[in-house]
């Protein structure tokens, strides 16, 4: 049995504090998600569901965020 997973990249601009990310795969329950960024900025995840999640950041600067999501 193989697990469903995906990886992606999201850019939050200077004016964005949060962004909703839609997942391309279908998950039977909320996936496990890991995020990293290209800058030393606090980032965190909220509102995880089976088809999307929200990324938030602590500073008003452009940040590229890389994510991976895997089925539980």
Domains, the chain, in order of start with CATH, read: 5-70 (2.60.40.2080)
Q: Read off the pLDDT of each residue in 21-47 and give the average, rounded to a whole number.
A: 95
pLDDT at 72: 86
pLDDT at 1: 53
Measure the CA dihedral 58/61/20/4, to 10°.
-90
Task: Indicate the helix (H) or strand (E) that contains 20.
Answer: strand 18-22
> How much is the pTM?
0.91
Q: What is the pLDDT of the chain when averaged over all its residues?
A: 94
pLDDT band at 38 (very low <50, low <70, confident <90, very high): very high
């Amino acid at each position: 049995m193989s697990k469903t997973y995906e990886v992606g990249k999201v850019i939050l601009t200077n004016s964005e504090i949060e962004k909703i990310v839609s997942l391309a795969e279908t998950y039977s329950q909320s996936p496990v998600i890991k995020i990293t960024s290209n800058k030393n900025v606090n980032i965190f995840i909220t509102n995880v569901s089976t088809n999307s999640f929200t990324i938030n950041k602590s500073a008003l600067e452009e940040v590229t965020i890389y994510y991976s999501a895997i089925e539980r």
